[in-house]
Structure 1
Amino acid sequence: MQNLSLSAAAKPQRIFARHFLSLAVAVTLISTPAYANSTALETITVTGQHHPLLIETTLDPTQSSAPDMRNQLAQLPGISINGNGAVSGIIQYRGMFSDRVNVQIDGSVITAAGPNGMDSPLSHVIGSIGQEVTLYRGIAPVSVGAETIGGAVAISHIAPELTDSEQRTFSGGLSVSRFSFNKTHYSVSANAINHNTYISVIADKQTADNYRAGSSAGNGIVIPSSFYDRHGVKIRGGYVAKNYSIDGFVTARTTNESGTPTLAMDIIYIDALLAGLDYTQRLNNQWQLKTQVRANNNEHIMDNFTLRSNTNNAAYRENYVDSEGRSISIKASHIDAQWRSEYGVDWHTKEHYSNITNPNMAMFYLNNFNDVQRETASVYAQWEQEKSSDLQWLFGTRYSRISADAGTVDSNMAMMNPNVANLRDAFNTAQRSKLFDLLDVVGRISLPSNESSVWTLSAGVKEQAPIYQQIYTWFPLGISAGMADGRNYLGNLDLSKETAFKVDVSAEFTGLRWRLAPSVYWSQIDNYIMGMPSDNMSANMIAQMNNIAPPLIWANEDAQIAGFDVTYQYAFSDNWSLGITGQYVKGKQTGTIKQDLYRLAPFSGDVTLSWQQEHDSNSYGFILHTELAAAQNNVAELQNETSTSGYGVVNFNGYYQFDSGLKIQLVATNIFDKTYAPHLAGVNRVTAAQLAVGDKVLSAGRTVGLNINYQFAID
């Protein structure tokens, strides 16, 4: 098979011995466990010289009952998932989440329509077998993109590999999963490939009813708005010549009625379209030029009455939102025996519109976002040199200019309520056009102390501009970019950019059958944007008239985040393997109010025991996974955050792989039917349910399912 890479510069070389980080993740996540012999520690590859702390792994969505791979992603070091809904998971990395973590899907930064992240980047992944995840562990290099103050994660479908023949080869697969709670997942793929062209089609459909919580603490109650219904399709094609390649794709994802119990509304529908085109030109043996173009359109309706109980007709709310995103990036890469360098320019624009109505009151409307635009122009340079076997270093810098603007807004409430009129008029007459200049600088030194260990010191400055919700929310609403704390927020036109000073110390120690990779980090964030008590009299009066808590206003404060994460792997034999990951993060607001940062992951870890056996070209085995979390008592009182208890949950995956391409898997999560609430699951906002409003959203009880997967190839 011929790889699509054009040269050594097109794809960083793999280094197995020194930069492998997580066998435990590998055997849990890839479709065929990677520990059949003692050298299998090299199966999960981590790009070495170009990004020493870059983790690349392949996920198999069929190994979990979750529709968006959140369970597998949460086993990567430092990653947790904020669960606002079954299809609305938000990646948290080392204490930061939402737009602070740069999550790219097929090379695109998603322009979400929902102002609370209902259509988060994870929702745009088509759930077929073979998703490649790239985690930039620690401080993300500047080459990854602009505004990576909280880190970076990239998810894409595995690239097709060309054959050596002009004759076209056909391949594909079918995956069917059926789980408890009427949960059904289908996925199908088809590919046509020869020596220089390829085309592939991927489609999926995922549905589920409301699930029941565990019964270890009593009768398992039904969790409201935990259902979902969505489908998607992706078409991809490309051509590879001697000195250039073209790759293009179109992805369409439709989410029908799906619940988000931690938010004030549920999803009625989301129509998302993502398209991309890549052109790569090899200039000579050392230089390569790559151009990427992306387009993303999203249309979304949500409401608070169709899928949940609402007895107050006057309080019915339907929110129509849409968004558009366009981007282009051009980068030149150079590689020789001593140096690796990369130079690039990026441009990205986002547009947002949102209008709230009441179907029972034709006159009611609240135009909360109108003609919002946010544009990013960025340029960067990055150099890396391996001077000798004793020292490697990387240095990069990026300058970005962020411009934002918004049109005038209005609401029928302004005609009868002077407080609403005051807020509207103040916004419409204010200077809404904003400019932010950002500078990122990252340096890293890796120093092997001997053949079996290496130390890496990273330091950098990362900057982030306010997002549109933080600037342009003129009327106090529950819009928080997915924080889901139940508070109403007011935008602030005077916000400053965030500046983070970051330090990361990592190490890797290896033996014949084991590997240990700890990492310790610290960040000081100046002008950290968070909700503070509102001093806006009009907004506070509106809250008082509605008998609700005063809103919070986005404001610049200071904060510190520190913690560690670690991975450990041990291969007992050719068949048995153990993997352990752990993480701890502590975040404090250090400005005018001293409190813990909101919704941080507790001290947690994963223990994975794996076994595999081969027989007559077939293979079979199991994976026993234990998820552990300590109590989280470090909570943000201003956001009404409450503590959660610790827990331990055991999951099981057993499989039999036939050499014919047929694979059968038994998947069981929460085997002991434990009643528990992950801290990041948030609190319930759905009334008239078995789970009280304000209570932590409980996870599903025992879930058992079967996956049948068949892969084929026709020459």
Structure 2
Amino acid sequence: MPRSILMSTCLGVLIAAPAFPQDSAPLVDIITINAHRTTTDGSTLDAQEMASHMTPDTTAVLARLPGVSAISNGALSGQVQYRGLFGSRVNIRLNGRAFESGGPNLMDPPMHYAPAALLEQITIDRGIAPVSAGPGLAGGLDARFKSIDFSESDTLSHATEFSLSGQSIDEGWSRSAMSGIATERFRVYAFGAQESGEDYSAPDTPVAGTRYDRLIYGLGAGFRSGAHEIALSFRRNETGPTGNPQFAMDIRYVDSDFIEFDHDMSLAGWDVSTRISWNEVEHAMNNFSLRPAPASMMRFRETIATVEHQAIALSASRDFAGGALDLGVDHAFATHDVTITNPRNADFFLNNLPDIDMARTGAFLEWQGPLGSWQAELGARLDAHTAEADEASTGPAVPMMPVMLANMFNMSERQWDDVTVDAVARAWHPINDTTLLRVGIARKSRVPTYLERFAWLPTPASAGLADGNTYVGDLELEPETAWIIEAGLDYHAGPAFIRPALFYQQVDNYIQGVAFDGTVGVIDTPVEMVSMMNGDATPLRFANVGAELYGFDGDFGVQLSPTWRLDGAFEFVRAKRRDIDDNLYRVAPASVSLALSHDAEHWSAGIETVWTADQKDVSFTNGEPTSEGYVVWNLNARVNGPLNSVIDLRVDNLLDEAYAPHLSGRNRNSGSAVGLGAPIPAAGRNLGIRLSWSH
């Protein structure tokens, strides 16, 4: 497939017209869940199919947006990639808050906790994330959960919604509900969603170890009086046995709790906000529950990972210099602990990431307002970081070489601190009545994760890289620093619009796996010996290198008639090392999508095609294979029924195309019809139906 085929990976959601901005809209895209279709004069992107998608992976639906791609590491472990960057480099928030995932392989990335059926709105940072959103290298997003708003009177009002869906490809089903009551002074609500599915099938190929099971439920309440408004919420996530064939292990469980407290008030001309949050994760993964058990009892493994995270953020805003001034301080603290065990031998355990404390204290200043004929957002952020690891421990059944590595780690300097500085300037200017120019420059930073810094034992844990390599950390890692420049146009004339953007990012001290030492393949160090015992004679070491990413993306659409509409999106990104002749790992190929939709008074329907190019620019360092391009067609329909009911119908992969997305990873489950190390194919033709009701 030619390189000229461009897009953003889209799984069947039709793209409606975006906001044509008058104030802050050039900086974000807003997806409202289950919203009615908007026009080119509206202020939101249409995402009425978001919750009607039968996939449990919300990232697969978000991938329709310009610059956004989905990395599939399992049904509930999808990661968001933005302009070639993913993992902790993308600033993802839930209810406006960053939080800590549980496992070193990121089997529970942020969107693991955000099923589409429970979301009210997703705000995407276009290009560069503001400093007020917190630290982060690339853009970001904020997923907001559904809740009940205050009413307009003292009369008690109530609201309820319910959905039930099923799909053919994995016999999957889901159900969700939310209900609450409110007056103008208080509100109380409850919500829940449950999803499960069996192994899915690609065309003529069952893909073993891909089942999933997830339950999320919670409560919320709010109270307001005078200048004060208070909100408190609790969420519980219980993930059961879920397959991750891209990894050496599968999820046995992920049990997580979230508590959030908000207080907003007006004080002496300032709007003051307090945000307090706490989350705790307990996570177990193993190599025998959802795949063939090892032949030797000595090879049974189960890893137990935990994290506890607390955060507080204080901010204040007011009118200033013709615009809005925001000031804020925030603090976050987390403790991670990971232990590898053998369930068949109580004397075998390695506390390979031992009680690692990581803290960050930050402050920011941000102003948005007019600068002459331009509108601008200017911000700066300062963060102080600390990290410290406890001593590693091993059991009496652990071989001598890993014990030696643990002792070497315990004798090393396991404390680190540093300060990072971020600065962002974004501006937009109407050239004429139809065209808006957008420009942005930024200095953004990211500190190493606990895994990248403190991993002393070579294991395949890599925060979701899923490349089959074993990794060790580096205590001397420096923070990443990205220098970013971008420019774009928002063109809107009559029934048509197009929003292209160009970007360039130079990343200094980019953290990338490199050869452990200069004698690759020569097993002459304890790390290489232990790595060879784990099946990899050429381990990688996280190190600082130079990188650059550049490309373009955008979306477009035209209202063909009062009832017919054509929309699309495109994406191209080139990501490579600056220090050697190599490419960055697992970067989305170029692609383009087109969607034709018809809206009637009580029903709508659409057809979409997604063209994805070959990916030949792959990472030699990570042993990344190339991938072939493909074309996929999808259908969808919606019928508005009686009593506020809605029926959604979908056919994904209409022609039952056999293909393997470049970002889907390689199979490591020996019990699958998919060969070991082979690309994991996408699902075949899938029929889905969803019934929803609200009152």
For the aligned pair, the TM-score class normalised by the smaller chain equals over 0.9
Q: CA deviation at 1:545?
A: 4.8
Which one is further off, 374-383 or 242-251?
242-251
Structure 2 counterpart of 1:569, from 549, 557, 561? 557
Structure 2 counterpart of 1:269, from 233, 236, 253? 253
Output one character per residue of 1:333-370: Cα deviation in whole Å (capped at 9) or x when no partner: 11258121100001001111111111222211111111
Structure 2 counterpart of 1:540, from 516, 528, 531? 528
Does 2:198 align with 1:198? no
CA 1:581–1:521 in structure 2 vs 1: closer, same or farther (change >3 Å)? same
Does 2:174 align with 1:174? no
Structure 2 counterpart of 1:653, from 624, 629, 636? 636
Does 2:653 align with 1:670? yes
After TM superposition, the structure 1 = structure 2 runs for residues 42-57 of structure 1, keeping only pairs within 5 Å, are 42-45=41-44
Structure 2 residue aligned with 1:503 = 485
Structure 2 residue aligned with 1:212 = 201
Output one character per residue of 1:34-67: Cα deviation in whole Å (capped at 9) or x when no partner: 15xxxx223343xxxxxxxxxx776654321111
- State the AA in 2 paired with 1:438: T
- Which runs of 5 or more residues in structure 1 are unaligned? 1-13, 46-55, 215-219
After TM superposition, the structure 1 = structure 2 runs for residues 246-645 of structure 1, keeping only pairs within 5 Å, are 246-284=230-268, 286-310=269-293, 311-335=295-319, 338-388=322-372, 390-412=373-395, 416-417=399-400, 419-535=401-517, 537-545=525-533, 548-591=536-579, 593-614=580-601, 619-645=602-628
Check conservation: 2:470, 2:531, Cα contact below 8 A.
Answer: no
Structure 1 residue aligned with 2:52 = 63
Does 2:673 align with 1:687? no
Helix, strand or coil: the match of 2:582?
A: strand
- State the AA in 2 paired with 1:707: R
Helix, strand or coil: the match of 2:51?
A: helix
Structure 2 residue aligned with 1:5 = none
Which one is further off, 151-160 or 260-269?
151-160
Structure 1 residue aligned with 2:72 = 83
- Return the alpha-carbon distance in structure 1 between the equivalents of residues 167 and 376 of structure 2: 48
Structure 2 counterpart of 1:709, from 652, 669, 692? 692
Check conservation: 2:28, 2:123, Cα contact below 8 A.
Answer: no
Name the Cα RMSD after superposition: 2.1
Output one character per residue of 1:623-647: Cα deviation in whole Å (capped at 9) or x when no partner: 2222221111111112111011111
- Return the alpha-carbon distance in structure 2 between the equivalents of residues 150 and 127 of structure 1: 23
When normalised by structure 1's length, the TM-score is 0.90
Helix, strand or coil: the match of 1:541?
A: helix
- Return the alpha-carbon distance in structure 2 between the equivalents of residues 337 and 398 of structure 1: 20
- Return the alpha-carbon distance in structure 1 between the equivalents of residues 214 and 441 of structure 2: 42
Output one character per residue of 1:589-645: Cα deviation in whole Å (capped at 9) or x when no partner: 111x3201000000012212111111xxxx101122222211111111121110111
Check conservation: 2:35, 2:46, Cα contact below 8 A.
Answer: no
Structure 2 residue aligned with 1:139 = 128
Q: CA deviation at 1:21?
A: 7.5
CA 1:452–1:115 in structure 2 vs 1: closer, same or farther (change >3 Å)? same
- State the AA in 2 paired with 1:75: R
- Return the alpha-carbon distance in structure 1 between the equivalents of residues 498 and 558 of structure 2: 9
- Return the alpha-carbon distance in structure 1 between the equivalents of residues 308 and 172 of structure 2: 32
Check conservation: 1:23, 1:41, Cα contact below 8 A.
Answer: no
Q: CA deviation at 1:583?
A: 0.6
- Return the alpha-carbon distance in structure 2 between the equivalents of residues 63 and 44 of structure 1: 22
Structure 1 residue aligned with 2:91 = 102
Structure 2 residue aligned with 1:154 = 142
Helix, strand or coil: the match of 1:426?
A: helix
Q: CA deviation at 1:128?
A: 2.5
Output one character per residue of 1:369-393: Cα deviation in whole Å (capped at 9) or x when no partner: 11111101000101122145x2112
Which one is further off, 168-177 or 57-66?
57-66
Helix, strand or coil: the match of 1:543?
A: helix
CA 1:493–1:242 in structure 2 vs 1: closer, same or farther (change >3 Å)? same
- State the AA in 1 paired with 2:660: A
CA 1:43–1:506 in structure 2 vs 1: closer, same or farther (change >3 Å)? same
Helix, strand or coil: the match of 2:600?
A: strand
Q: How many residues align?
A: 669
CA 1:415–1:23 in structure 2 vs 1: closer, same or farther (change >3 Å)? closer
- State the AA in 1 paired with 2:543: A
Structure 2 residue aligned with 1:53 = none
Does 2:97 align with 1:115? no
Q: Sequence identity, in percent?
A: 28
- Return the alpha-carbon distance in structure 1 between the equivalents of residues 296 and 75 of structure 2: 27
Does 2:128 align with 1:125? no
- Which runs of 5 or more residues in structure 2 are unaligned? 1-18, 518-523
Structure 1 residue aligned with 2:4 = none
- Return the alpha-carbon distance in structure 1 between the equivalents of residues 527 and 572 of structure 2: 38
Check conservation: 1:128, 1:203, Cα contact below 8 A.
Answer: no
Check conservation: 1:22, 1:579, Cα contact below 8 A.
Answer: no
Q: CA deviation at 1:548?
A: 2.7
Which one is further off, 122-131 or 79-88?
122-131
Q: CA deviation at 1:19?
A: 7.3
- Return the alpha-carbon distance in structure 1 between the equivalents of residues 394 and 37 of structure 2: 59
- Return the alpha-carbon distance in structure 2 between the equivalents of residues 71 and 365 of structure 1: 37
- Return the alpha-carbon distance in structure 2 between the equivalents of residues 458 and 486 of structure 1: 37
Helix, strand or coil: the match of 1:384?
A: strand
- Return the alpha-carbon distance in structure 2 between the equivalents of residues 346 and 17 of structure 1: 30
- Return the alpha-carbon distance in structure 2 between the equivalents of residues 240 and 625 of structure 1: 46
Check conservation: 1:414, 1:420, Cα contact below 8 A.
Answer: no
Check conservation: 1:371, 1:406, Cα contact below 8 A.
Answer: yes
- Return the alpha-carbon distance in structure 2 between the equivalents of residues 563 and 445 of structure 1: 20
- Return the alpha-carbon distance in structure 2 between the equivalents of residues 703 and 295 of structure 1: 39
- State the AA in 1 paired with 2:99: I
Helix, strand or coil: the match of 2:80?
A: strand
CA 1:567–1:72 in structure 2 vs 1: closer, same or farther (change >3 Å)? same
Check conservation: 1:23, 1:579, Cα contact below 8 A.
Answer: no
CA 1:32–1:433 in structure 2 vs 1: closer, same or farther (change >3 Å)? closer
- Return the alpha-carbon distance in structure 1 between the equivalents of residues 233 and 134 of structure 2: 21
Helix, strand or coil: the match of 1:199?
A: strand
- State the AA in 2 paired with 1:223: V
Q: CA deviation at 1:451?
A: 1.5
CA 1:708–1:140 in structure 2 vs 1: closer, same or farther (change >3 Å)? same
Output one character per residue of 1:198-241: Cα deviation in whole Å (capped at 9) or x when no partner: 11211111010001102xxxxx1111221101111021111123
